Structure 1
């Protein structure tokens, strides 16, 4: 696939914010089929119709550019899993997990890279990934409110972090070797959440089953 079509190389005048967003968006698109460390600055500059040097006017270093792409990708993931409040609680959970699997399937190379590749050990990338995990936990707890002063809240938060780790590891394994169907994977992840909630707080499990 060529990135040097006439449409890609035509210079378009954009505001600084528009150009920055364009470059990040191109990087995020490229992230769909390659690891973050394999993002080509030169290729993105060509697609944007600017020089490689000009790209670094917007991002001081390649690492700064990579981190901006990761932030953008994380925001896309969070947007993708935002609950559909027209659904019941159980179907809302299933729908969000279903869309999560859609996203990671479409971006499997970058997903594997961020969680298990060289980037996963980066002191700059790790906090971004952790922020996304915390945001997902926050989304879930917003739908099933647990009072801040609830004495059981710390145990619930710890268990939720464990569930996120289970979801990630299970999904990573499935992406490598699809030993079960996609529908079975979604069912496994949904039921694991309900089972965990039942062990922690039967009332919470009852809410999730609605």
Structure 2
């Protein structure tokens, strides 16, 4: 097995374990045993247990970003947004434990874990801002700040829904998808000459 293939295998095993338990409970020993390698070999690929956890979080974030990539063929920006949000809700539902690890990484004292989270949010915000002109919204600094706030709203609302699903999945999608245009309109009404 090539070094990259082995590293990928170890990360994949970590992702599988995160599907069953919190990230902090994914041990080096359990991964080494599952992979049939020594503990020392795992440290050949990762500097520390934390470095391994960051690699798992990064792989999880990349998978989520790939799954939620905008479907440009849909044409209408609101349909693109709804399709991406649908994919997001499904991804988080299917990967709840791993996604929660990514969200918890936002509050982590580890700068590398925080960087994974910040990069993921930045890509998501960039996707929305790329489509703003088609919605006749100028991507000003205030709009950019609003989009980042909306992403936090989507994350928290989805997590709350998973914890206690008081509404249907379709109602959840309607709430999170309609919130962005509503926020953009509110920003435009309150700050019509925002720089």
TM-score category of the 2 structures, normalised to the smaller one: 0.7 to 0.9
Structure 1 moving runs of 4+ over 4 Å: none
Residue of structure 2 equivalent to 1:96: 84
- Checking the alignment, whether the CA contact within 8 Å between 1:24 and 1:72 is kept in structure 2 is yes
Distance 1:54 1:171 in 2: 38
Distance 1:28 1:63 in 2: 14
Residue of structure 1 equivalent to 2:25: 38
Q: Say whether 1:22 aligns with 2:9.
A: yes
2:43 paired residue among 41, 45, 56: 56
- Checking the alignment, whether the CA contact within 8 Å between 1:104 and 1:111 is kept in structure 2 is yes
Distance 1:65 1:82 in 2: 26
Residue of structure 1 equivalent to 2:70: 83
- Checking the alignment, whether the CA contact within 8 Å between 2:60 and 2:98 is kept in structure 1 is no
Going from structure 1 to structure 2, the CA distance change for 1:119 and 1:39 (only over 3 Å counts) comes to farther
- Gaps spanning 5+ residues in structure 2: where? 190-195
Q: Say whether 1:139 aligns with 2:102.
A: no
Q: Post-superposition shift, 1:145?
A: 4.4
Q: Post-superposition shift, 1:65?
A: 0.6
- Gaps spanning 5+ residues in structure 1: where? 1-13, 203-210
Query: Which structure's residues are more often helix, by fraction?
Result: 2
Residue of structure 2 equivalent to 1:129: 117
Moved more, 36-45 or 153-162: 36-45
Secondary structure at the counterpart of residue 80 of structure 2: helix
Q: TM-score by structure 1 length?
A: 0.81
Q: Say whether 1:170 aligns with 2:154.
A: no
Aligned length: 184
Q: Post-superposition shift, 1:33?
A: 2.6
Moved more, 28-37 or 107-116: 107-116
Distance 1:135 1:127 in 2: 12
Residue of structure 2 equivalent to 1:207: none
Q: Say whether 1:185 aligns with 2:172.
A: yes
Residue by residue over 1:140-177, the C-alpha shift from the partner in whole angstroms, topping out at 9 and shown as x without a partner, is 1223349xxx6x61101111111011111111111110
